[in-house]
Amino acid sequence: DAGVTQSPTHLIKTRGQHVTLRCSPISGHKSVSWYQQVLGQGPQFIFQYYEKEERGRGNFPDRFSARQFPNYSSELNVNALLLGDSALYLCASSLQGASYNEQFFGPGTRLTVL
Amino acid sequence: AQTVTQSQPEMSVQEAETVTLSCTYDTSESDYYLFWYKQPPSRQMILVIRQEAYKQQNATENRFSVNFQKAAKSFSLKISDSQLGDAAMYFCAYRSRANAGGTSYGKLTFGQGTILTVHP
């Protein structure tokens, strides 16, 4: 079975632009979480979605938004990009959103903002 | 809010030797999960081992074991018989067990990470 997939692998944008990152969860998984990992640091939680509803949000500005589709795939959108948004964006999927469900991570999307 | 601290930015070990990575955390909750994740240069985050706070017995997974000290809020990872493939960034992570009003119950809180180098 395929694991969590993310696209694109790499992305270069300029300040002020908008970006959309995509995530496909493992088949059968209904929950998707997004994390931002700045170089040299641990991942920071951005969002969790379960059954197309937002179930959790981290301490990120409103420029960050996400949604989950009926097939449980997800998009993370970032508006008005800043240099500080340069990071590895990780998507993780789990069967449900419950705390006991293991989260499986994708390979990430490396975003560079110039 | 919960915090996770890894005080060792880098560690190194000789192949076949044993190494211990440290992690401390702060929480007011009594029931939670603790994890160690491995992130090799390929960037794929892989679960190494998981500990449930209500279980007193330390978790083990083959060459990997933890020393869970709940009162001290300490959660260290021991890697025995280290192999070259163990070289990676290791993250300690916390997750609340309680469903806090339906929000963030899947949220993982990570430490800053420890880079492990394995020398042949």
Q: Does B5 touch chain A (CB under 8 A)?
A: no
Q: Do A98 and B50 touch (CB under 8 A)?
A: no
Q: Do B43 and A107 touch (CB under 8 A)?
A: yes
Q: Per-residue pLDDT averaged across A45-53, rounded?
A: 92
* AA letter at A61: P
Q: Is A75 exposed, middle or buried (0-12, 13-18, 19+ CB in 10 A)?
A: middle
Q: Which domains does chain A have, with CATH numbers?
A: 5-113 (2.60.40.10)
Q: Do B99 and A44 touch (CB under 8 A)?
A: no
Q: Do A41 and B104 touch (CB under 8 A)?
A: no
Distance CA(A12)–CA(A112), nearest Å, equals 5
The pairing of strands A109-113 and A10-13 is parallel
What pLDDT does residue B88 have?
A: 97
pLDDT tens profile B45-55: 999 999 999 88
pLDDT tens profile A56-110: 899 999 999 999 999 999 999 999 999 999 999 999 999 876 667 789 999 999 9
Q: Give the gap in angstroms from C-alpha B45 to the nearest C-alpha of chain A.
A: 6
What pLDDT does residue B100 have?
A: 52
What pLDDT does residue B42 have?
A: 79
pLDDT tens profile B75-112: 999 999 999 999 999 999 999 876 655 444 678 999 99
pLDDT tens profile B3-19: 999 999 999 999 999 99
Residue of B nearest to A46 (CA): B107
The hierarchical CATH code for the domain B3-98+108-115 is 2.60.40.10
Q: By percentage, how much of chain B surpasses pLDDT 90? A: 80
Specify the length of chain B in residues: 120
Scanning B97-116 for CB atoms below 8 A from A yields: 97-99, 102-113
Cβ-based contacts of A88 with chain B (< 8 Å): 43
Q: Does the pLDDT of residue B116 top 80, yes or no? A: yes
What pLDDT does residue B105 have?
A: 64
What does the DSSP assignment read for chain B? --EEE---SEEEEETTS-EEE--EEE-S-SSEEEEEEEE-TT---EEEEEEETT--SPPEETTEEEEEETTTTEEEEEE-S--GGG-EEEEEEEEESS--TTSSTT--EE---EEEEEE-
Q: Does A35 touch chain B (CB under 8 A)?
A: yes
Q: Do B45 and A92 touch (CB under 8 A)?
A: yes
The full set of domain ranges for chain B reads 3-98+108-115
Tell me the average pLDDT of chain B: 92
Which of A6, A32, A50, A103 is the mutation pick for testing B, counting most B CBs within 10 A?
A103
In the numeric block, which tokens belong to residue A43? 């991942």
